[in-house]
Chain A
Amino acid sequence: MEAATKTQNTDTMCKNAEHLSGAEILVRSLIEEQVDSIFGYTGGAIMPVYDALYDHQDKLMHYQARHEQGATHAAQAYARISKKPGVCFTTSGPGATNVLTGLADAYLDSTPLVIITGQVASGFLGSDAFQETNMIGLSMPVTKWNFQVTKVEEIAEVMAKAFYIARSGRPGPVLIDITKDAQIATTDYKYKKCETVRSYQPMPELDMSQVEAAAALINGAKKPLLLAGQGILLSGAEKELMEFVEKTQTPVACTLLGLSCFPTDHPLYTGMLGMHGNYGPNMNTNECDVLIAVGMRFDDRVTGNTAKYAKQAKIIHIDIDRSEHNKNIKVDVPVLADAKEALTALNKVVNGETKEVWMKTFKDFYQLEFDKVIKKQAYSDNEKINMAEVIRTVSEQTNGEAVLCSDVGQNQMATARYYGFKKPNTQITSGGLGTMGFALPAAIGAQIGDKDAKVVSISGDGGFQMTLQELAMIRQYNLPVKTIVLNNSFLGMVRQWQDLFFEQRFSCTKLDNPDFVKIVEGYGIQAKRVSKREDLDDAIKEMLESPNAYFLEVVVETESNVLPMIAPGASVSDMRLE
């Protein structure tokens, strides 16, 4: 067989096998899987792949991060926005180990990724060769699947399997470690998409008896409460959720990652669950008679003390992952299914009527929360700006339709609490792992995933400094990402805990920060700092109206705490308002 030229049309490849290098096969596999964007950082052990990529730039756009962790977070957000697996390339050793944080983050938040790490040649494996690390061993606990390719003949099949596993069932990250000799060696190439793996059943068959049992509880409920998790967004069940809620008149609360799956201005929306969530849904978790959990996993940040969690309620748990049922909370009716499929089936058999008295309790709780917390924070009259009012202003000026990428800490909770999400998939944050430094690279990935979106990154001064080198990507690729740093010169959330639970011993949380505006300007991005309330509206307007990237530093109150709060180990109904 004649060696194929690199410019050959890939459409014809499936029909006739060609003789190609492993690197070329890998790149063509990505094209077969409809990949259009790759995030990464080159290096010695991945060079053949980058070389092959050079000939396919018309189909595969590579975005060069400045650190592999940044590449993974960008790929995560890209995946969430585009609903396609995010793809990263890195070299071996330190390049590969730098993706572990992103992998762990994606694993906990069920984000589909396909990470390709270069590896030393197979003859060097296990010899502590230059830049060799055991990436299979290291990534095993934080990947849905991983595989080390040592033979060129394996590449096409493994790539097909990687994409199938990453995107099917409960999505998750996959890592393929590929030795340099496998990248260089040649073999016949023919691509076949993977549609099944015999020891993997991603889509359980819906058991109608579970649906009927759930419907019986729902139809008899006087005080139901629905907890909406990210499973709604992952399965694209927003419409089915709306139909269910309106048909049954069930109040809805979202988990942190579930935010944006249900419009916050809907009369049946009651707020966010959990440690820094809204007062009403948390208090009413211990009052409802039927708790319907959809695509969420009863994370400890949601449940507080599990021994005191919703003991009075019958619990229905819809989840595609069998191992989530009864893991944290004992469930009365487990429904093993994708959220969309389960809600579609339920919508045919559920009914309900307005529950005025029950709904009023949520409104009363909200009023209490508004008077004691929201009014003071989002409409603050203190001398310094409160981070809540920054988020409220962004929310009002964007009409709740921007994509908000938040970091981790007080800024994250303020974003979750005070941004009025109107459209699905408009909140991207690090939920399970709580990775500081997530927001900026995530905003980059989100912008690449949806070039028309208005993407706003919200960070604190601590998290921003963990990945700020990715500003270079914004500049290099002319991405109109808007970046807000809420600067309180503290690691705010830890400071809050020190304030409340460590007798105000502020150990190692005060930050002596650099001049952010100068740094950002050094990257060639327009930047501004505001510290006065009267300048805030106009500054945010100027930022949002800019056709280019824009950085806004807002100097905010140092000693403001995010309230209400469920203290560690306390019950959801022990939420404190002050």
Chain B
Amino acid sequence: MKEYTITVFSENNIGLLNEVTIVFSRRKINIESLTVSESEVKGVSRYTIVAYMDESKVENVVLQIEKIIGVFKALYFEAEEIVHQEVALFKIANSTKLNGNLESLVRNNGAKILTVSPDFLVIERVGYKAENQELFHELEQYGVLQFARSGRVAVSTLQKDFTTYLKELSN
């Protein structure tokens, strides 16, 4: 089983997300993360899906997704073919225990403090899942009230043509 990042471009229509996820669920493939938002072309959604599956399955999964009416294109990538990030938010109790150590921890991890209130503060870190998880462990000593992580967003290092194709469609 390998980790694949699957990128899907579709119309922004009700029900299409469901159709895409059915392709995974009927094959008993668990989706590790899923992010959907409008792409660089108005009205066209971009999905980033992370899932583990056999190498022999991934091509068929992508082709089945591409078969859905409303999907423009589906592509799959291995780790080295994409640049990807996740956003993590950490809510920490703003108590007397907080001191300069926290500030340096935040700085050393490339994170930043988003909000400070009398009761809590929120730290944001953009990065790889493993690094965000590591920061979570380090912050646990301060008492993490909430930890929220986004799904992966990714852009490929290889595919450039599709953006052009999408833009042609929107013209």
Contacts and interface: CB of A to CB of B under 8 A. Distances in A.
A380 B64 CA distance: 47
Nearest to B61: A323
B73 to A, nearest CB: 9
B interface, over-half SS = helix
A197 B69 contact: yes
Given A140-B15, A140-B19, A327-B60, A145 B69 contact: yes
Contacts of B18: 137, 140
A323 B63 contact: yes
Interface string A126-140: 000000000011001
Interface in A421-447: none
Interface string A319-345: 001110011000000000000000000
A197 to B, nearest CB: 7
**How extensive is the interface on chain B, given as a class?**
10 to 19
B22 interface: yes
Interface string A256-279: 000000000000000000000000
A141 interface: yes
Contact of A198 (B15, B26, B60, B169): B169
A326 B66 contact: no
Interface in B103-145: none
A323 B66 contact: yes
Nearest to B65: A323
> Which of A197, A198, A199, A321 has the most chain B CB within a 10 Å cutoff?
A199
Contacts of A197: 69
A227 interface: no
B7 interface: no
Contacts of A326: 59-60
Nearest to A326: B59
Nearest to B169: A198
B72 A199 contact: yes
Interface in A166-219: 197-200
A327 B58 CA distance: 11
* Shortest 5 CB-CB contacts between residues of A and residues of B: A323-B63, A145-B69, A199-B72, A200-B69, A199-B70
21 contacts: A136-B15, A137-B18, A140-B19, A145-B69, A165-B69, A197-B69, A198-B72, A199-B10, A199-B69, A199-B70, A200-B69, A200-B70, A321-B67, A322-B63, A322-B67, A323-B64, A323-B66, A323-B67, A326-B59, A327-B60, A327-B63
Interface of A: 136-137, 140-141, 144-146, 165, 197-200, 321-323, 326-327
Interface of B: 10-11, 15, 18-19, 22, 26, 59-60, 63-64, 66-67, 69-72, 169
